[in-house]
Chains A and B, each alone.
Chain A
Amino acid sequence: MTISSPVLRNSMRLILPLTLLYALFAMLKGHNEPGGGFIGGMIFATAVCTYRMSHGYAAQLRLLPIHPRILIFLGLGLALGTSAVPLLLGHPFLRSAVGEFHLPFTHHPFHYASAMAFDLGVMLVVVGVAVGMITQLSEELE
């Protein structure tokens, strides 16, 4: 379903990058604060679907040139892989590695956890499911 509105088309230029950036931000801050892969994925998918509304399906394919099924596979694989790695090291499933490292030119140490990769996987799954569903439904409508 495409809405041919110049207002929407032009404002999407601003909205799209901001929303995608915010999705990434929500995903990353989910480690210690409200947010996380699921919310980040929803926001990402909203951006993609709004873009589809303003620019059409072909433009969406250029923006996200991966089949949603593959996104779901990558996301689930990443999440499952991250959770299974500790098994090889003799730790329980889902055990997260945590630590800190210093980025050059910054004062604050950067706190990382391998659970972040799990969250990224969740995000990919949510994007894949949401975009895939909306694509299927709008195909039926058209």
Chain B
Amino acid sequence: MNLSNLIILFIVIPMGTGVLGVLFKYQVGLMRVLGSLSLASTALLAVGLLIHLRSHETGILVTQMGAWPAPYGISVVFDSLSGLLLAASSLVALGCYVHSFSTVSAAAQARYFHPMVQLLMFGVNLAFLTGDLFNLFVSFEIMLMASYCLLTFGGTRLQMTQAYKYVLLNLVGSTIFVIGAGLVYGMTGTLNFADLARFVAERQALGEDLPTGFTALSIALLLVFGLKGAIFPLWFWLPDTYYTANVSIAGLFAGMLTKVGIYAIARTFPMIFAHGGSEATKVVMPILAISAAFTMFLGVLGAVSHHNIRRILAVHVISQVGYMVFGLALMTQIALAGCLFYMIQHMVVKSCLFLCCGIIERHTGTDDLDRSGGLLRRDWYLALVFFIAAMSLVGLPPLSGFFGKLVIIREGWDTRWWLSIFGLLTGALTLLSMLKIWSYCFWSPQAAAVERPAGESPPPGSMRPAYAGATLLVLVALFLGFGAQPVYEIAFRAGEQLADPRDYITAVLGPESLDHLAGRDLRSPAELAAAARREATP
């Protein structure tokens, strides 16, 4: 059996489970089992393939849909970048999904909740795997469609208001995206990432100009991806949206959705739009750098100023996205690896914090910091999980956030030291905001008991799935901290694949596709300078 045909299972499994969910709409128990199995199996599959690919020659698996050859058909590509993200997103989804058993009401669960989670994962997995720009658009749409439904579960007035803004904003984004994809096709005659990378590399190697307007086009796409990824100044939709959704779903979104936007930048810019010393690079890189600084710093200032757990966590998502954009703005092999590691650790840790927030809300009946307290005595286990996750987010040494930040800040120190200073400052303020939650919720004495309306208190044992979900994610976060070495090996390989697109192009288009560029180095000037620096300082 050809292994590369199997990568399509990442798409078939969640879609198949979603389809079954339509049939078994009212069999909530059965769907919970099937849904968890589907997410667990995609996670295992991703981890298994990653381990298998460590000894693989190129480390890239490709399958062509319907056996139509590459630039004409649809390519599905599994490389180290997509593999790590698939593994992390499936695990995060599993944690949040299990958590939702205790937070999503039974009535909502029987209203297509389960198929929607699976279809969301269908879209996310497709986005990570697809090898062309148009299918990236399609997967964004699938993902957004499912997210619109998940966002409004409950159907309160506030949710509808926020969802309306979210839908409108994303419609604008999608429109620009599809126009951009059309223009890309018009300018280059292809939408396939590998073919686009080949087109750009070829032009540069032969000293020819890129088509007029290519820079403007890349900015338009950056706008779209930045909107999904919530980078400065396109973040304004995020805090309110995550604030109104159900807490498990907010955890799922916080882990997944912004990262898909960042992934799209990481996939298209180093290889295609900002590849080499093109004019687009000179425009895009400063934009990314400045936006990274603002995203990091203003995001964390927002988090410090809020006084409400969910808002703090939601605004924090923005600040953390800044670190990833920081890694992208350097665009060297190591910075991209750091960005990838930071992405997966942030997915896990941030979702875990949201899941903890769900349990805190259940304990105290509110997410207002002033009205909660004394949780350390009431629930030491929750305190432990929260503390580990919060310190991972801050980046305290043996925990996962440290390794992500270390690599990015260290790599940025030589070329963009001011960004590194912003990064360090943001880390300190992150600590402050996390300690705020910690001291108000866990350390302070018990606040006056919140009176609950009669009949609303949950039956004992109903929170067990919530603890299970949070525990799963905190274990993954601990693994990312203590087992950073093997994960970083894969991340470095992903950085290599992005910085030097040769492997990706030949894996998708076939070994002859680069013959006429034989011997030319396809790495960007920034990457070459970084490589020279690395050799100079052993």
Which one of B12-20, B354-362, B384-392 is at the A interface? B12-20
| A74: min CB distance to chain B, Å | 9
Q: Are B66 and A94 in contact (CB under 8 A)?
A: yes
Given A87-B8, A91-B5, A93-B5: A77 in contact with B63 (beta carbons within 8 A)? no
Instruction: Give the residues in chain A near B64, CB-CB below 8 Å.
Output: 92
B interface footprint on A81-123 (CB within 8 Å = 1, 0 otherwise): 0011001001111111000000000000000000000000000
**Is A48 an interface residue when CB atoms closer than 8 A count as contact?**
no
| B402: min CB distance to chain A, Å | 40
**Is A22 an interface residue when CB atoms closer than 8 A count as contact?**
no
A1 to B323, CA, bound (A): 56
| B152: min CB distance to chain A, Å | 16
* Most chain B CB inside 10 Å of its own CB: which residue of A72, A77, A87, A93: A93
**Is B6 an interface residue when CB atoms closer than 8 A count as contact?**
yes
Instruction: Give the residues in chain A near B22, CB-CB below 8 Å.
Output: 69, 72-73, 76
Given A84-B12, A95-B67: A90 in contact with B5 (beta carbons within 8 A)? yes
Q: Are A92 and B63 in contact (CB under 8 A)?
A: yes
**Is A80 an interface residue when CB atoms closer than 8 A count as contact?**
yes
Q: Smallest CB-CB separation from B65: which chain A residue? A: A94
- Contact check: which of A76, A90, A93, A96 meets B19 at CB < 8 Å? A76
A92 to B69, CA, bound (A): 11
A interface footprint on B249-273 (CB within 8 Å = 1, 0 otherwise): 0000000000000000000000000
A53 to B64, CA, bound (A): 46
| A15: min CB distance to chain B, Å | 31
Q: Are A87 and B6 in contact (CB under 8 A)?
A: yes
**Is A134 an interface residue when CB atoms closer than 8 A count as contact?**
no
In the complex, chain B residues 47-73 whose Cβ is within 8 Å of any chain A Cβ: 63-67
Q: Smallest CB-CB separation from B2: which chain A residue? A: A90
A90 to B2, CA, bound (A): 6
A80 to B67, CA, bound (A): 17
Q: Are B23 and A93 in contact (CB under 8 A)?
A: no
Instruction: Give the residues in chain A near B76, CB-CB below 8 Å.
Output: 93
Q: Are B15 and A93 in contact (CB under 8 A)?
A: no
B interface footprint on A51-77 (CB within 8 Å = 1, 0 otherwise): 000000000000000000110110011
Q: Smallest CB-CB separation from B7: which chain A residue? A: A93
Instruction: Give the residues in chain A near B19, CB-CB below 8 Å.
Output: 73, 76-77, 80
In the complex, chain B residues 380-408 whose Cβ is within 8 Å of any chain A Cβ: none
**Is B1 an interface residue when CB atoms closer than 8 A count as contact?**
yes
Instruction: Give the residues in chain B near A93, CB-CB below 8 Å.
Output: 5, 8, 12, 63, 65-66, 76
A123 to B337, CA, bound (A): 45
A74 to B351, CA, bound (A): 35
Number of CB contacts from chain A to chain B under 8 A: 49
Instruction: Give the residues in chain B near A69, CB-CB below 8 Å.
Output: 22-23, 25
| A117: min CB distance to chain B, Å | 14
Q: Are B2 and A95 in contact (CB under 8 A)?
A: no
Given A80-B12, A80-B19: A92 in contact with B1 (beta carbons within 8 A)? no
| B110: min CB distance to chain A, Å | 12
A76 to B22, CA, bound (A): 10
A94 to B64, CA, bound (A): 9
A62 to B72, CA, bound (A): 45
| A76: min CB distance to chain B, Å | 4
Instruction: Give the residues in chain B near A80, CB-CB below 8 Å.
Output: 12, 15-16, 19
A118 to B52, CA, bound (A): 33
Instruction: Give the residues in chain A near B65, CB-CB below 8 Å.
Output: 92-94
Instruction: Give the residues in chain B near A77, CB-CB below 8 Å.
Output: 19
Given A92-B63, A93-B66: A87 in contact with B5 (beta carbons within 8 A)? yes
- Contact check: which of B12, B16, B25, B66 meets A92 at CB < 8 Å? B66
A70 to B5, CA, bound (A): 30
| B203: min CB distance to chain A, Å | 31
A122 to B12, CA, bound (A): 16
| A82: min CB distance to chain B, Å | 11
Instruction: Give the residues in chain A near B9, CB-CB below 8 Å.
Output: 87
Q: Are B23 and A70 in contact (CB under 8 A)?
A: yes
A76 to B8, CA, bound (A): 17
Instruction: Give the residues in chain B near A94, CB-CB below 8 Å.
Output: 65-66
Instruction: Give the residues in chain A near B1, CB-CB below 8 Å.
Output: 90
Instruction: Give the residues in chain B near A83, CB-CB below 8 Å.
Output: 12
A90 to B65, CA, bound (A): 13
Instruction: Give the residues in chain B near A96, CB-CB below 8 Å.
Output: 66
| B375: min CB distance to chain A, Å | 43
Q: Smallest CB-CB separation from A94: which chain B residue? A: B66
A69 to B22, CA, bound (A): 7
| B211: min CB distance to chain A, Å | 32
In the complex, chain B residues 18-34 whose Cβ is within 8 Å of any chain A Cβ: 19-20, 22-23, 25
16 sample A-B contacts, Cβ–Cβ < 8 Å, listed by A number: A69-B22, A73-B22, A76-B19, A76-B22, A77-B19, A83-B12, A87-B5, A87-B8, A91-B5, A92-B65, A93-B5, A93-B8, A93-B12, A93-B65, A95-B67, A96-B66
The residues of B with any CB-CB pair to A shorter than 8 Å are 1-2, 5-6, 8-9, 12, 15-16, 19-20, 22-23, 25, 63-67, 76
Q: A70-B23, A76-B15, A96-B66 are in contact. List 17 more A-B contacts (CB 8 A).
A: A69-B22, A73-B20, A77-B19, A80-B15, A84-B12, A87-B5, A87-B9, A90-B1, A90-B5, A91-B67, A92-B63, A93-B5, A93-B8, A93-B63, A94-B65, A94-B66, A95-B67
Top 6 A-B pairs, shortest CB-CB distance: A93-B8, A94-B66, A73-B23, A76-B19, A73-B22, A94-B65
